[in-house]
Amino acid sequence: MKDAIVFLGIQGSGKGTQAELLAQHTGFLHVNIGDLLREQVNLGTEIGAQVNTIIQKGELAPDEIVFELIDRRIADCCDGVIFDGFPRTLVQAEFLLQHYHVVRVYYLDLKKVDAIKRIQGRKVCSQCGTNYHITNHPPKKSGICDACGGKLFTRGDDAPSAIRKRVAAFYEETYVLKKFFEEKGELKTLPALEPIQEVQDMIIEDIKLG
């Protein structure tokens, strides 16, 4: 079984940012399920056609599709995986436990009101996927990615109606996983509003101890 580290948290809590930094530190593969799904949409595949409307509405994609995309991405890849945006339901959590050795689950704790503020100002690079925020983490040149010069855009599912649905889906289907992993002794809660590097240092310290 491969090792898995999981990032759990409401939209905008910084799962992607922390997962990417930890992937650089550990050499594990960073797997973001939202990205895998959006890739299918952009490639115009059959799966993409099935999930496109679901994603735009801010609802969850079917579990079987999520499992298939994970299996494809991870086949013969690496020693360990860092999941960001997975699991989001109890069924997905059971799948995770059956197929991976869960090293740790990090819950990035952020209030709903702060999450909404963060998502509302989010801009994403159309070329390399780097995230920005119009006030908290603006690019040097407005609308242009610092890393690659690509154009920044607002994701369709960051529109207000979809944000409301995604936040509701988090509390209805995903929040229960906090307790689920807590009871298994695998969960550590981290303060998502602290500076990015400080949160990362807490994670690295925790992994060393474990």
In the complex, the residues that contact ligand AMP under the rule CB under 6 A are 11, 33-34, 37, 54-55, 58-61, 66, 85-86, 88, 92, 157, 166
Nearest to ligand AMP of 18, 92 (CB atom): 92
CB of 60 to ligand AMP, least distance (A): 4
Closest residue to ligand AMP using C-beta atoms:
34
Q: Show the tokens assigned to 52.
A: 């496109």
Nearest to ligand AMP of 196, 204 (CB atom): 196
Q: Which residues, 6+ apart, have CB-to-CB distance to 101 below 8 Å?
A: 1, 2, 3, 4
At 90, the amino acid letter reads L
CB of 205 to ligand AMP, least distance (A): 26
Nearest to ligand AMP of 114, 204 (CB atom): 114
Q: Show the tokens assigned to 96.
A: 């995770």
Q: Show the tokens assigned to 58.
A: 């801010």
In whole angstroms, what is the distance from residue 39 CA to residue 131 CA? 17
CB of 62 to ligand AMP, least distance (A): 7
CB of 63 to ligand AMP, least distance (A): 7
Cβ proximity of 167 and 10 under 8 Å = yes
Q: Show the tokens assigned to 94.
A: 């059971």
CB atoms within 10 A of CB 191: 11
Nearest to ligand AMP of 101, 164 (CB atom): 164
Nearest to ligand AMP of 61, 152 (CB atom): 61
